[in-house]
Amino acid sequence: MTVAIIDYGSGNLRSAAKSLERAAAEAGGGPVLVTDDPARVRAADRVVLPGVGAFGDCRAGLHRLPGMVDALENFVTRHQRPFLGICVGMQLMAERGLEHGVHQGFGWIPGDVVALDPVAGSSDSPLGDLKVPHMGWNRLNLRAPDHPVLAELPQSSYVYFVHSYHLRPAQPDHLLATVDYGEEVTAIVGRDNLVGTQFHPEKSQAAGLQLLANFLRWCP
């Protein structure tokens, strides 16, 4: 089982690769490749798309790699193999990103990527003065605990976020987990052979490693 992490100039690829290699060792998986080669993406058993920065910049980075967008579309929609998006890589699964203009996403998860709008300093919020970007640890509210990628992940697990936008799914059943940050913030989305995390599993210690191992075992 080969896992391809797409290198398009965005994301902490070394950290993601190391975490996936560790998860693969525990899950009995195969090699983890960091690649910008569409042929390797087409040949992979699973694909991970990380992303850090602005939605439009990440989208442009993917389109600068000849054949990569087509390879991803075929991988996800035609061959229906397991796909994991991380942070902006998850946001690109949406129909549109509304950061610094309107940018088209892949449209795999109906909905838009919108700015966080927490109720900062609200008297009824236990979080106190909330700032954007949302940076740090927060507790998951699992809405679909029976999903295979969330197996053995305890309710209220702490995971690590760095973001100012989140994907707001149009269909409630695509929302697998949220966190409270002065509003309900999307943490995990998924449907069919797709799953995406707004947080960084590679920085989320035991919970992140469990999720990655589950992804490597997942047979949608």
Return the active site residues. Answer: 87, 200, 202
Q: What's 118-137 look like in SS3? A: CCCCCCCCCCCCCCCCEEEE
